[in-house]
Amino acid sequence: METEGSMESNSKIHLDGFKKGQVLNSEFVFRDIRFLDDLEVERKSVFLRLDLNIPIKRTLKNEVDDSLISKNDRLQKSLPTLRYLLERKAKVVIGAHLGRPKTKEDKERLSLEPIARNLRECLNLEEVLLTESPLSSASKVLLSGLKSPGQVLMLENLRWDISEEQNLSSLALILSECVDIYINDAFGASHRKHASLCNLPRSFQRRGMGFLMKKEIEVLNKISKSQDSFALILGGNKVRDKIGVIRSLVEKKRDFLLLVGGAMAYTFLLANGASVDPVNVEREKLEEARDLLYHLRRQGRVLLPLDHRILPIGESGPLRLTEGPEIEEGWRGVDIGPKTIKLYRDSLQDRKVMFWNGPMGIFEKEGCEEGTFQMLDVLSKSDAFTVIGGGDSAVAAQKRECGEKMDHISTGGGASLEYLKAASLPGIEALRG
Ligand code: ADP
Ligand code: MG
C-alpha cells in the first residue's frame, strides 16, 4: 500500500555517501579462504563448527521427538561435510550451540545429547561421544585421547560457557593443543562474533570453510550480483533484525521491490501514518522505518499491507477481515488479508529473483496461515530464482510441502540477511589468511 502518510524529508540516509569499497564485492568474498577440500585432512584431528541449533520438541511424557531432529535441514545439510571427513578417517571434534541457555534449568533443557544421538543414527556410527561440559578438564582428557581414525566427539553446548558469547580464548587454549585443523560449516551462526566462530579459527594456521557454508554463500552471491528485477519479501517479527538489509539496499541504490508482511508490517504501517494495533510495533525502530519509507516510496519500491486478518487482543477468536490498512483498538493483526495477497501476487509476476524471510502471519495458528501459504505458492510456481531464509519460514515451506520447489532454502535467516547487507560475515572474515 502506498498511502499518503506524513513523510518527513529530513532524511538520515546519505544516498550519495555510499562508497564502493565499503562493501566487499561478492567475487572477493572467498579471497584468501581455503575450503575443506583444499586442506589435507586425512587422519588429522579436525574441529568442525556446525549449526545444529534445532528446536527440540518433547512429548507429554517429556520424551524428545527424534524424528523432528533427524529430518531437520540444518542437521541433514551438515552431513556431507561430516561424511567427507569420516571417509578420510579424520578424528572429528564437533562444536555447536543450542538456544540461549541462561539459567541452570535452561542448561539441562538445552543439552546437545539428543542432537548427538540423532547424528550418530544418521551417520550410522557406533558412537558419537559427548563431553560433560564444553570446556572442562575432562573434555581436555577426552580430546587428547582422540585416537582412532573416524572417531567423532561432540563438545556440549558451547553457550553453556560464557566465553562463547563473549568471544574469549578459553576454547582456543584447549583445542589448539590437540586439534590440527579448524573448519567452519556453521553458516546460520556465522553472523555472531562468538568464540568458536571468530576467536578460535585465528589460532589455527590450517583453517577453512565447509561445503554447506560455501553453497550458502554462492547462492547469496548470485542474488547480490544479479542485475535482474529483485523482490525482497520480509515478514516475521523482528524489525530490528531486518531493517539493516533494507537500508543497505537503499544505500547501494539497488533496484528492488520490498514487500512487507507479518508482525513487522505494523511498525512500517504506523510509520506510514496508518493507525494500527500497538501490540506488534517496535517503537524504537519507528523513526528508522519512517526514514526508509520516505526513500522507498519516492522510488516506488515498497508495498505495505492493504488489509489484515485480525483477532481480538488476548482472545483466540473470532477472526475478522479489515476493510483497509487500519486496525481498530482492541484488535491485533495476525495475517495479511486477501487484497494484500492479490497485490503482492501481482507485483511478483515480473520478478526474476526473490528472497523471502519471515512468515506473513502467525502461520502456526489455524486460520492465520493463508497469507504465508499463498505467498509460498507464488514462489513455488514462479520461474524466478527463489530463496527462502529463516527457521520459521523454512518450517512454513515444509508445512506447505513446497520446499523442493524453491531454488534454495537457507539454513540461516539472520545470517543470510546480514550477508546480503554486508557481503561478508564475522565467521567468514575469521577464516581469511
Ligand atoms: P524466521 O525464523 O523465518 O526468520 P521470524 O523469526 O522473524 O522468521 O518470525 C517468525 C514468527 O513471526 C512466527 O513464529 C510467526 O508466528 C510470527 N508472526 C508472523 N506474523 C505475525 C503477526 N502478525 N503477529 C504476531 N506474530 C507474527
Ligand atoms: Mg525465527
- What is the full DSSP assignment across 352-392? SEEEEES-SS-TTSTTS-HHHHHHHHHHHH--SEEEEESHH
Q: How many Å separate Cα 135 from the centre of its chain?
A: 27
Q: Which backbone phi and psi does 320 adopt, to 5 degrees?
A: -140, 165
371 is catalytic: no
CB of 372 closer than 8 Å to CB of 392: no
pLDDT at 138: 67
CB of 387 closer than 8 Å to CB of 410: yes
Task: Answer yes or no: is the C-beta of 393 below 6 A from any ligand 1 atom.
Answer: yes
Q: Which atom of ligand 1 is nearest to the CA of 363?
A: 16
Whether residue 322 has pLDDT greater than 90? yes
Of 238, 247, 254, 297, which residue is the catalytic one? 238
Give the predicted TM-score (pTM) of the model. Answer: 0.89
Average pLDDT, the chain: 90
- The CA-based diameter of the chain, rounded to the nearest angstrom, is 69
Nearest CA residue ID for atom 9, ligand 1: 236
Nearest CA residue ID for atom 5, ligand 1: 236
44 is catalytic: no
pLDDT at 396: 94
Task: Answer yes or no: is the C-beta of 307 below 6 A from any ligand 1 atom.
Answer: no
The upper half-sphere exposure of residue 362, i.e. CA atoms within 13 Å in the direction of its Cβ, equals 14
Q: Output the CA 276–ligand 1 centroid distance in Å.
A: 17
Each residue's pLDDT tens digit, 361-416: 999 999 999 999 999 999 999 999 999 998 889 989 989 999 999 999 999 999 99
Whether residue 237 has pLDDT greater than 60? yes
Whether residue 11 has pLDDT greater than 80? no
Mean pLDDT score, 240-257? 92
Mean pLDDT score, 271-288? 92
Task: Answer yes or no: is the C-beta of 413 below 6 A from any ligand 1 atom.
Answer: yes
242 is catalytic: no
pLDDT at 228: 85
Whether residue 351 has pLDDT greater than 70? yes
Whether residue 190 has pLDDT greater than 70? yes
Of 180, 132, 137, 121, the residue nearest 154 (C-alpha): 132
Percent of the chain with pLDDT over 90: 76
The lowest-confidence range among 20-34, 200-214, 411-425 is: 20-34
The span from the CA of 370 to the CA of 58, in Å, is 27
Q: Which ligand is nearest to the CA of 409?
A: 1
Whether residue 318 has pLDDT greater than 90? yes
Of 20, 17, 33, 92, the residue nearest 425 (C-alpha): 33
Task: Answer yes or no: is the C-beta of 392 below 6 A from any ligand 1 atom.
Answer: yes
Residues whose CB is under 5 A from ligand 2 (ion)?
A: 391-392
Mean pLDDT score, 292-304? 94
Q: Name the DSSP class of 27.
A: G
Q: Which atom of ligand 1 is nearest to the CA of 238?
A: 7
Angle at 41 between CA 35 and CA 44, to 5 degrees: 140
414 is catalytic: yes
Q: Output the CA 321–ligand 2 centroid distance in Å.
A: 26
